Structure 1
């Protein structure tokens, strides 16, 4: 497939910034990577549309909305290898989502490794979802996570199902990291041409976060958990991404569990491509995400199910 000129410009920018080089170090230089963190964004949009900053557990929540009476909440769980974030590209995506949907958005900046470990981060996710569910019914909550943000979203859903808790109506996952052990042999093949990530640096970051538990523990490697009972799940995958092989395994598990899923594969795309600046492909895909959010898939499905049951009961139809 022919790529846009902006795609190649993005590759050049990544090369100049040395992103791959930074993610090829062991130990990874988390302090250097954190220099790109943006915890409170500037600009007129955020000045006028950030409604509140507040804390849940040890997480900073920024509440953004362009609507005074929004009845939909998006929990945005950012990526950053557990060691950094949020970054400028996260805020840019939130800005577009807020402008083009009627969602209130909680940007969730959780504690980072190596100072904080996966058990504490997971507890923060539990607390954030509990606080959200006290303000919104579950069918009005959606979740979005990129990279390890996707890890945290999936692991949270697995815990909620085990606890028989109400689930969000949908989850949107952008290049989710599924296995912290990075043991899939297919990763080595992609590492050679992934323009952003390297197994060495990503593995280093995971080890900083893992505490004393196994790298395959479902808190940090949800690939090894159950996917039965998951809500509507939308996945954006990228071929030129070392996390891609494990994502394909998750798709297989979701299908086997008969989960309602929608999978978009970016041909020759790179990690978290829908959030990247400059690229035409990213802008198109972010518009697609916004379209998915504006389309109340769950409500439509509920209405159709109700109609089918109605006809079955009243007209003795057999399905």
Structure 2
């Protein structure tokens, strides 16, 4: 039913053409969602400015956080965080007792992946110094999942302490959207189409090649990464990215658990679905025991 609603909403039509309108996209930026009043009543919500970007901290009330999660939202590197993200974050804070740190990182077309990457790795350094690596996780959905994996790779290359784990929800790991299998999956995808996301990927790449690991981390080094947990549905063109990363991790001995849901759409794990709730239970367990 939700897939039908998403299809009728015309959401995927935004990505139907490669001719995206950058002025229209930027004009909508003021619509970034903030934590709702209901979330603020239930949880401890604070915020700060860092390098001109808002960073929100969402934590349980009345008890110290058990872990810290740097959460990077999706939106094709074009769109700001949505109310669906905040609802998911609130559920995860309540379920896990973790502190979620949520930055409004720089977006394309005004900024590129190199800029966004520098911003999030600077924030990651601060969180490591403040909270330590043993209970430090990075999580992201869609484009945020790609940025999360890129961040982990850059942190490893910089010699930073390895965090406790990575959680990638329908991650966008190759902005070229060039996997031949995506053509057959696209007709069932109710949210994404290749022409538009390819343009978004080129904007995000900026002066870098779109296959640069800072932009498309599927082409980066996996050695030294913390344990990874991935969720993706088969009615999502990005399932090919998840499968390719999983195969590489298995060949290279990187600890990774991949859960693929038949017939489910993009970012189903954050949505109010029975399968989404089941994924959230699995994520909570991972935040407590990453290697399990």
> Normalising by structure 2, what TM-score?
0.93
2:9 to 13, 17, 20: 17
Q: Give 1:174-189 correspondences, 5 Å limit.
A: 174-189=169-184
Report the alpha carbon displacement of residue 90 of structure 1 after superposing the two structures with TM.
0.6
Q: Which one of the candidate residues 268, 272, 287 is aligned to 2:281?
A: 287
Q: Secondary structure of 2:196's match? A: helix
Q: Secondary structure at the match of 2:177?
A: coil
CA shift digits 1:128-150 (9 cap, x unpaired) = 10111121110110111101111
Cα distance in 2 between the residues matched to 1:129 and 1:75:
7
Aligned to 1:26: 18
Larger Rg: 1
Task: Find 1:269's aligned residue among 264, 270, 279.
Answer: 264
Q: Does 1:44 align with 2:38?
A: yes
Secondary structure, aligned partner of 1:143: strand
SS of residue in 2 equivalent to 1:239: strand
* Contact 1:59-1:124 within 8 A present in 2 as well: no
Residues 153-168 of structure 1: pairs in structure 2 closer than 5 A: 153-168=148-163
How much does 1:263 deviate? 1.0
Describe the SS at the equivalent of 1:177: coil
**Aligned 8 A contact 2:25 2:78 in 1:** no
- Which residue number in structure 2 is paired with residue 317 of structure 1? none
The unaligned stretches of length 5 or more in structure 2 are none
Contact 1:58 / 1:110 at 8 angstroms: preserved in 2? Answer: no
288 and 29 in structure 1: CA distance in 2 versus 1, 3 angstrom threshold: farther
Q: How many residues align?
A: 289
Matches within 5 A, 1:1-319: 9-29=1-21, 31=24, 34=28, 37-47=31-41, 49-67=43-61, 68-277=63-272, 279-293=273-287, 295-298=288-291
Deviations 1:34-91 (A, max 9, x none): 4795432222322452431112334321111114422410111111000012111110
Structure 1 window deviating more from structure 2 (66-75 vs 31-40): it is 31-40
Q: Offset of 1:291 from its aligned partner?
A: 2.9
Give the 4+ runs in structure 1 shifted more than 3 A.
29-39
CA contact (8 A) 1:175 1:236 kept: yes
Q: Is the 8 A contact 2:121 2:151 kept in 1?
A: yes
> TM-score, structure 1 length as denominator?
0.85
Pairwise CA distance, 1:231: 0.5
Shift of 1:224: 0.8
